[in-house]
């Protein structure tokens, strides 16, 4: 007879590898982040230093920022534990709690989502939002609704992004010298096209940054950890191999973004694969796919739930890229989907145990309907799609 | 104190860590931001030093300035270029070897800012570098390497201190030329450099119609020069170089040097026709006129025995080519009409060969003018 676990995620199956526990999961997670951290440091620090555009002290800053994200997160959780638990205020108690709280991970992920010139005080504020507001106030590890790192990133994005720009912004010391970048990330350029209603083209969106290979390797402007699809994939392969994440969650998410973007590209008159490829390789799609939508606490735990979650997230990511105020749609869509993680998990769990019967069937029908509506709206919301529709609308009016 | 540390030591320690991160991390962040400006200045100064071979470093320089006005391109109004900053360039032993003036001028729009480097050793303009501009990018982009090379190792001790403008970016070209001239004026003020100054006026210019001397000089000009208003009638070759004096005061060397610049600027007559050769044995005068091609069209004039009229003209050669018509057909059409009618009034315009047709009209008008002046016009 099948057994089901209750309570909050993350869950560990007894049948899994012997000796594996939450500690090993988090350790593997940190190992998976290592290629991303190292590439980020190389691209924004070491390479720029080799280019002769910064000095040694400046070269260390990207690494310092990332490590400081994790460190601050730990310190803030320690303070929180001290303040909220009057009976266990000695160092050993706090260290014991910290060891099972995995405080460093949201801090490191948060830092990887931020631009290289993020001031430390902004990072501190973001870490506070992520760790204290996003995680500890909800009850700590395993109880939070929102991805803590993402919450910190989103709050900073909406409130303090001007300070980051003033401090130097997203372009590193070498990128600032490249005229074709025009001071913007690929999605920043995309947003300009979106706002003006001009049709996008390979020459306008990709060529200023080289080619799609550069997007894959990660030698393009962007937040510290999001540019290198290669480094992210290495981390992703490690997590899949270690059975920390399910392979299909990132694949379905990235695949959905790819397909929706492809449809938009085709209807806009450009059927090339470059646009969907550009869509998945720019911004935070790949990073979110491997490190955020696989996060065990704030996403569904069962297979069906993960699939539904990834599908909706993919559509919303594209939608928010076309209609949102921010160039990137990943953060907004993921926060939104975090809210629905529990109901999706609940109903998909029912479907798994009882099959497609009421209320599961009605639930899945409603979900499918919502999915189709959002997908259709996403496509229509793209300016280029609307432009492509104009001749049809005109013909309709003539008839 | 000890009790406090025992009770609150942990929270004080954790808070101190946050405070330290806030203070020192904040200082690190500020340092990073400040470095952006530092690097920008370094790159800027480095780009200026690169204008000067053997240049190692820059030093601020206080220029005397110059109060001069230049014409705004495309306008009758004048303006004064703005000296933004000036530097001296030092070599590796700390000696001043050049001066750099960063000057803002007006092209199509205001704000054409460029650096002009001048050698202190040989008074040459070493190079120019654009700093910023507000010009129309599509036009400004036409300024190519060939244009910029004109500013490299350019002798400033000349009358004709100018550059060739780029077609389609004339105003932007003028902005740099003005900046270059203003830099020379500043250099003259700061370092006592003497700019060649010639008082010269071209009163008249005409082709030489004396067949005995036509191979020696092509033009005759009457000029007034120097502060004493001296006058002379002088002989010039096809490039307006001084050949000799026919009458009047002796011409100074400075005036002779200035003639190739001043004569074309005076724009008194059409000088498109070049006299190539006169053969007195056959009484054949060979002339050419520039057209679409650089080699243009070459025509022979057959002079009659009494040397006072043109008997006929012959088409010799042409570098012209035009749309859907055999080479030489346009030129021959004009020549035949002229020989038959004595004029080209009956010639229609040649569609697709406008420039060649205009060249032929120019040379035939010149022939008519030349014929009337032959043998003193008798």
The average pLDDT across B113-134 equals 94
| Torsion angles phi and psi, residue A69, rounded to 5 | -60, -50
Q: Do B22 and A124 touch (CB under 8 A)?
A: yes
Q: What is the pLDDT of residue B342?
A: 80
Searching chain B, which residue's CA lies closest to the CA of residue A165?
A: B33
| Closest CA of chain B from A79, distance in Å | 6
Determine, for residues B36 and A71 on separate chains, whether the beta-carbon distance falls below 8 Å. no
**Terminal alpha carbon distance of chain A:** 64
Asked if residue A134 and residue A95 are part of one domain, the reply reads: yes
A345 and A291 assigned to the same domain: yes
- CA distance, residue B11 to nearest chain A CA (Å): 6
CA angle at residue A111 from A281 to A194, to 5 degrees? 40
Q: What percent of chain B has pLDDT over 70?
A: 97
Within a domain: A373: yes
Same structural domain, A193 and A174: no
Taking alpha carbons only, the member of A29, A217, A185 closest to residue A107 is A29
A155 and A262 fall within a common domain: no
Numbered residues of chain B with Cβ closer than 8 Å to any chain A Cβ: 10-11, 14-15, 17-18, 21-22, 25-26, 28-33, 35-36, 39, 43
- Note the pLDDT of residue A271: 60
Task: Give the chain B residue nearest A122 (alpha carbons).
Answer: B26
Instruction: Confirm whether A233 is domain-assigned.
Output: no
Phi, psi of B13 (to 5 degrees): -65, -45
Check: pTM over 0.80? Answer yes or no.
Answer: no
Give domain status of residue A5, yes or no. Answer: no
Contacts of B15 in chain A (CB under 8 A): 79
Question: Does residue A269 sit in the same domain as residue A300?
Answer: yes
Q: Is A226 inside any structural domain? A: no
Instruction: Report how far residue A383's alpha carbon sits from residue B226's, in angstroms, rounded to the nearest whole number.
Output: 72
Does some domain include residue A232? no
Q: Are residues A156 and A267 in the same domain?
A: no
Of B10 and B302, more confident: B302
The predicted pLDDT at position B160 comes to: 79
Which of the listed residues A181, A199, A229 is the one where a domain comes to its end? A181
Domain carrying residue A58: 23-181
| B273, pLDDT greater than 80 | yes
Point out which residues pair with B113 in neighbouring strands: B104, B132
Region B108-135: mean pLDDT is: 93
| ipTM, two decimals | 0.77
Q: What is the pLDDT of residues B40-93, one digit of tens each?
A: 888 899 999 999 999 999 999 999 988 899 999 988 899 999 999 999 999 999
Same domain, A194 and A313: yes
Q: Which long-range contacts link A370-374 to residues 24+ away (Cβ below 8 Å)?
A: A370/A312, A371/A311, A371/A312, A371/A315, A374/A312, A374/A315, A374/A316, A374/A319
In Å, how far is B22's CA from the nearest CA of chain A?
A: 6
The domain boundary, picked from A125, A152, A181, lies at: A181
Low-confidence ranges of chain A (pLDDT < 50): 1-4, 14-15, 388, 399
The reported pLDDT for the residue numbered A2 is 44
Asked if residue A195 and residue A137 are part of one domain, the reply reads no
Same domain, A290 and A380: yes
The residue to which tokens 């910029």 are assigned: B148
8 Å CB contact of B11 and A58: no
Assigned domain for A230 exists = no
Mutation target among A120, A123, A131 for the B interface, most CBs of B within 10 A: A120
Q: Is B35–A72 a contact, with Cβ atoms under 8 angstroms apart? A: no
In a domain, A163, yes or no: yes
Same domain, A292 and A329: yes
A365 vs B263, which has greater pLDDT? Answer: B263
Beta carbons of B18 and A64 less than 8 Å apart: no
Chain A residues close to B5, C-beta within 8 Å: none
The count of structural domains within chain A is 2
Which residues of chain A are within 8 Å of residue B9 when distances are taken between CB atoms? none
Q: How many CB pairs under 8 A join A and B?
A: 71
Task: Judge contact between A340 and A348, C-beta under 8 A.
Answer: no
Q: Which residue has the higher pLDDT, B328 or B58?
A: B58
pLDDT of A359 reads 60
Q: Which helix (H) or strand (E) holds A37?
A: helix A22-41
Strands B96-106 and B110-119: antiparallel
Question: What domains appear along chain B, each with residue ranges and CATH number?
Answer: 57-191 (no CATH), 200-266 (no CATH), 273-377 (3.90.1010)
Nearest-CB residue to B14 (from A82, A90, A173): A82
Q: How far apart (Å, rounded) are the C-alpha atoms in residues B264 and A391? A: 60
Residues of chain A in contact with residue B6, where contact means CB-CB under 8 angstroms, are none
Go through A43-60 and write b for each residue having 16 or more CB atoms within 10 A of its CB, e for each that does not: bbbbbbbeeebbeeebbb
The alpha carbon dihedral of A296, A300, A306, A309 has a sign of negative
Which residues in chain A touch residue B10, judged by CB atoms under 8 angstroms apart? 82, 89-91, 94
Residues A63 and A192 in one domain: no
Token pair for A31: 């190992």
Tell me which of A13-17, B25-29, B166-170 is least confident. A13-17
Residues of chain A found within 8 Å of residue B19, distances taken between Cβ atoms: none
With an 8 Å Cβ cutoff, are A120 and B32 in contact?
A: no
Residues of B in contact with A83 (CB under 8 A): 11
Closest Cβ opposite residue B18 in set A54, A55, A75: A75
Q: Testing the interface with B: which of A81, A121, A122 to mutate, by most B Cβ within 10 A? A: A121
Do A271 and A204 belong together in one domain? yes
Q: Please tell me which of the candidates B28, B33, B43 has its beta carbon nearest to residue A168.
A: B33
Q: Are B21 and A72 an interchain contact pair (Cβ–Cβ within 8 Å)? A: yes
Last residue of a domain, one of A159, A181, A203: A181
Half-sphere exposure of B117 (CA within 13 A, CB side): 27
Residue A18 lies in a domain: no
């Amino acid at each position: 007879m099948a057994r089901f676990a209750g309570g909050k995620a993350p869950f560990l199956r007894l049948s899994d590898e012997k000796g594996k526990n939450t500690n090993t999961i988090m350790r593997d997670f940190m190992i998976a982040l290592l290629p991303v951290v190292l590439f980020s440091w190389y691209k924004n620090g070491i390479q720029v230093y080799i280019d002769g555009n910064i000095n040694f002290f400046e070269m260390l800053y990207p690494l310092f920022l990332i490590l400081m994200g994790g460190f601050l997160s730990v310190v803030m959780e320690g303070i929180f534990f001290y303040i909220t638990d009057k009976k266990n205020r000695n160092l050993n108690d706090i260290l014991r709690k910290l060891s099972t709280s995995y405080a460093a991970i949201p801090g490191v992920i948060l830092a990887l989502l931020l631009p290289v010139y993020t001031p430390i005080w902004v990072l501190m504020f973001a870490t506070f939002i992520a760790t204290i507001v996003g995680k500890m106030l909800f009850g700590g590890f395993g109880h939070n609704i929102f991805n803590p790192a993402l919450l910190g990133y989103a709050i900073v994005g909406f409130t303090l992004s001007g300070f980051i720009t003033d401090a130097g912004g997203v372009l590193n010391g070498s990128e600032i010298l490249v005229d074709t970048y025009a001071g913007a990330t690929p999605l920043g350029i995309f947003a300009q096209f979106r706002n003006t209603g001009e049709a996008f083209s390979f020459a306008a969106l990709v060529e200023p940054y080289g080619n799609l290979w550069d997007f894959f390797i990660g030698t393009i402007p962007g937040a510290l950890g999001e540019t290198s699809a290669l480094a992210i994939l290495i981390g992703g392969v490690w997590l899949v191999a270690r059975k920390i994440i399910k392979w299909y969650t990132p694949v379905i998410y990235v695949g959905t973004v790819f397909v929706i973007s492809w449809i938009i590209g085709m209807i806009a008159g450009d059927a090339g694969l470059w646009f969907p490829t550009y869509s998945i390789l720019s911004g935070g799609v790949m990073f979110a796919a491997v490190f955020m939508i696989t996060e065990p606490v704030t996403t569904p735990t069962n297979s069906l739930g993960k699939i539904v979650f990834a599908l909706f997230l993919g559509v919303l990511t594209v939608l928010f890229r076309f209609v949102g105020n921010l160039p990137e749609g990943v953060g907004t869509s993921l926060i939104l989907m975090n809210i629905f993680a529990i109901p999706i998990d609940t109903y998909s769990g029912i479907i798994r145990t009882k099959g497609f019967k009421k209320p599961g069937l009605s639930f899945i029908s409603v979900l499918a309907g919502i999915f189709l509506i959002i997908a259709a709206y996403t496509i229509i919301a793209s300016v280029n799609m609307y432009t492509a529709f104009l001749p049809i609308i005109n013909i309709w009016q003539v008839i | 104190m000890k009790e406090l540390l025992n009770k609150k030591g942990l929270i004080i320690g954790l808070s101190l860590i946050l405070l330290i991160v806030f203070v020192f991390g904040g200082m690190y962040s500020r340092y990073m931001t400040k470095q952006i400006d530092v690097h920008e200045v370094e790159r800027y100064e480095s780009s200026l030093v690169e204008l000067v071979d053997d240049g190692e470093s820059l030093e601020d320089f206080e220029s005397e300035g110059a109060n001069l006005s230049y014409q705004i391109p495309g306008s009758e109004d004048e303006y004064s270029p703005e000296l933004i900053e000036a530097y001296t360039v030092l070599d590796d032993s700390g000696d001043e070897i050049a001066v750099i003036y960063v000057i803002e001028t007006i092209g199509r729009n205001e704000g054409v800012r460029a650096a002009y480097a001048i050698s202190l050793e040989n008074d040459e303009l070493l190079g120019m570098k654009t700093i910023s501009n507000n010009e129309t990018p599509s036009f400004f982009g036409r300024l190519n390497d060939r244009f910029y090379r004109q500013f490299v190792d350019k002798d400033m001790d000349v009358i004709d201190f100018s550059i060739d403008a780029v077609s389609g970016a004339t105003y932007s070209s003028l902005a740099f030329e003005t900046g270059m001239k203003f830099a020379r004026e500043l250099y003259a003020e700061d370092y006592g450099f003497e700019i060649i100054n010639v008082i010269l006026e071209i009163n008249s210019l005409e082709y030489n119609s004396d067949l005995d001397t036509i191979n020696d000089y092509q033009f005759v000009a009457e000029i007034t020069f120097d502060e004493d208003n001296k006058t002379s009638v002088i002989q010039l070759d096809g490039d307006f170089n001084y050949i000799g004096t026919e009458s009047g005061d002796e011409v100074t060397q400075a005036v002779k040097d200035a003639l190739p610049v001043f004569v074309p600027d005076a724009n008194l007559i059409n000088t498109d026709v070049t006299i190539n050769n006169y053969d007195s044995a056959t009484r054949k005068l060979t002339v050419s006129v520039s057209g679409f091609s650089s080699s243009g069209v070459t025509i022979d004039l057959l002079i009659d025995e009494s040397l006072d009229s043109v008997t006929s003209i012959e088409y010799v050669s042409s570098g012209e080519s035009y749309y859907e018509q055999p080479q030489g057909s346009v030129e021959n059409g004009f020549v035949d009409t002229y020989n038959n009618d004595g004029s080209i009034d009956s010639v229609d315009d040649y569609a697709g060969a406008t420039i060649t047709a205009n060249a032929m009209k120019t040379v035939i008008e010149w022939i008519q003018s030349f014929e009337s002046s032959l043998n003193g016009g008798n």
